[in-house]
């Protein structure tokens, strides 16, 4: 029995590894908290793609935008990428008030939404949205002269 369980575990591990590797290889994380942590460490905006397997526009976005070399280059320089399966993560869909698909959120390193795209954008439209993003770290207000004098 123990040998059977060990064999079953080994087979399941071998089957699961390519699925896990493909998410990591293409640069997409599947956890917002990990994305925010990496965004903070790298000083990058976190792009969260809320998608669903049944969503035709989501597939079109992945095929025509996210898979392009130009998007990958720009994203690699400016973004941490997170993909969320909306059907498996209803609590996140509710938390971020996602009402249509695809929905793309851009979060600063503190997790605050700085932009949102709902629906499909072609490559140039998507790159334009990325170019408008603010710095990844929320800027702290500068101390006023009065506050400085009190110190």
What is residue 49's three-state secondary structure? strand
- Phi/psi for 84 (5° steps) reads -120, 120
Rounded to whole angstroms, the Cα distance separating 36 from 43 reads 10
Q: Which residues contact 46 (CB under 8 A, 6 or more apart)?
A: 32, 35, 36, 38, 39, 79, 80, 82, 106, 107, 108, 109, 111
Identify the active-site residue in 29, 58, 130, 136. Answer: 58
Active site residue 96: no
Identify the active-site residue in 38, 42, 55, 123. Answer: 55
Question: Which residue from 113, 32, 124, 61 is spatially nearest to 105, judged by alpha carbons?
Answer: 113
Active site residue 74: no
Enzyme catalytic residues? 55, 58
């Amino acid at each position: 029995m123990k040998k059977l369980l060990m064999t079953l575990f080994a087979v399941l591990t071998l089957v699961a590894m390519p699925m896990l590797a493909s998410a990591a290889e293409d640069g997409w994380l599947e956890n917002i908290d990990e994305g925010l942590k990496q965004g903070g460490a790298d000083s990058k905006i976190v792009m969260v793609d809320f998608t669903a397997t049944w969503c035709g526009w989501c597939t079109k976005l992945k095929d025509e935008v996210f898979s392009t070399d130009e998007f990958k280059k720009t994203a690699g320089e400016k973004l941490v990428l997170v993909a969320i399966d909306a059907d498996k993560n209803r609590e996140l869909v509710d938390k971020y008030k996602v009402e249509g698909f695809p929905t793309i959120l851009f979060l600063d390193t503190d997790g605050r939404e700085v932009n949102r795209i709902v629906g499909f954008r072609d490559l140039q439209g998507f790159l334009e949205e990325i170019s408008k993003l603010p710095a990844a770290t929320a800027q702290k207000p500068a101390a006023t002269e009065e506050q400085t004098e009190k110190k």
